Amino acid sequence: MKRILISGGAGFIGSHLCERLLGEGNDVICLDNYFTGHKSNIRHLLAHPNFEVVRHDIIYPYTAEVEEIYNLACPASPIYYQHDPIKTTQTSVLGALNMLGMAKYNRGKILQASTSEVYGDPLIHPQKEEYWGHVNPLGVRSCYDEGKRCAESLVMSYHRQHGVRTKIVRIFNTYGPKMDINDGRVVSNFIVQALRGEDITIYGDGNQTRSFQYIDDLVEGMIRLMDDTPDDFTGPVNIGNPHEFTIGELAREVIELTGSRSQIVHLPLPEDDPRQRQPDITLARQMLGNWEPTVQLREGLRKTIGYFEEVLTRGGVRR
């Protein structure tokens, strides 16, 4: 049994990670301020004898005796991270400082959740970890993009200066059950609009591409990065599904799987929205025990649609 802290543990990704780590026999502390996380995501875990929940905002210091930290706390969808851009940057930067400080104090190991957004609107395709990115530091997305880039810098500084055992994962578009119905991400948007019979809104011409990863594949990759790589291997490592789809293809797939009569409508492309996003996962395959995404888009969408069907039958309220 390991004692593990997950910041952002009530969020979409964090709650799945809590389930997996508890299932493996670990003692888990879930830290969350519920800005984007939901108690409903972890309610079924509350009776577990090895599970503890603490309501806390990681921009303020927190201390616990733990062996591993997964630092996931930060709003990750544009609707939420642009709602309070200063708070978003604080969470990325001050939150990383506080979690790294706790890892140093405990002589523990920390995994920092970064993002494909550090590549910005990439000029290299697909994106490899050594690519430095093409990011607008002044745009409306910069609070998140630059916050995560700074967090990566802090992680490497703690590793070099203090010898903290650190890991960086760059997460590409991830979807699955427990996504927020109102988070504005493309997969949840399309599914909810299709199930409601509303127009499906595509921003831009729909030819921009994304690579969609099911949540179980991400959790598997993160745990392998934390547990199965040498201490001197910090990453960053891209974790994503390299199969590339246009947004228009995704919309048509959702319409088919839901049996919806929704029509596709086009709206203006948001500022700094990337035209292409596809991970090169060569490094993950090499370092994570031949890790490979196993859930392809159609299968993952069916599972996610089933989840949202249940949520919508309750009037959009999650239990």
DSSP 126: S
Helix (H) or strand (E) holding 105: helix 85-106
144 catalytic? Reply is: yes
Q: Is 97 left (phi over 0), alpha (psi -120 to 50) or beta?
A: alpha
The residues, any chain, with a CB within 8 Å of residue 314's CB and separated by 6 or more, are none
Q: How far apart are CA 64 and CA 25, in angstroms?
A: 19
Helix (H) or strand (E) holding 20: helix 12-23
The sign of the CA dihedral 199, 297, 228, 236 is negative
Q: How far apart are CA 186 and CA 260, in angstroms?
A: 17
Instruction: Kindly report the number of other CB atoms within 10 A of residue 136's CB atom.
Output: 14
Catalytic residue among 144, 158, 175, 214: 144
Q: How far apart are CA 13 and CA 177, in angstroms?
A: 10
DSSP 278-312: -B--HHHHHHTTS----S-HHHHHHHHHHHHHHHH
Which residues are part of the catalytic machinery? Answer: 144
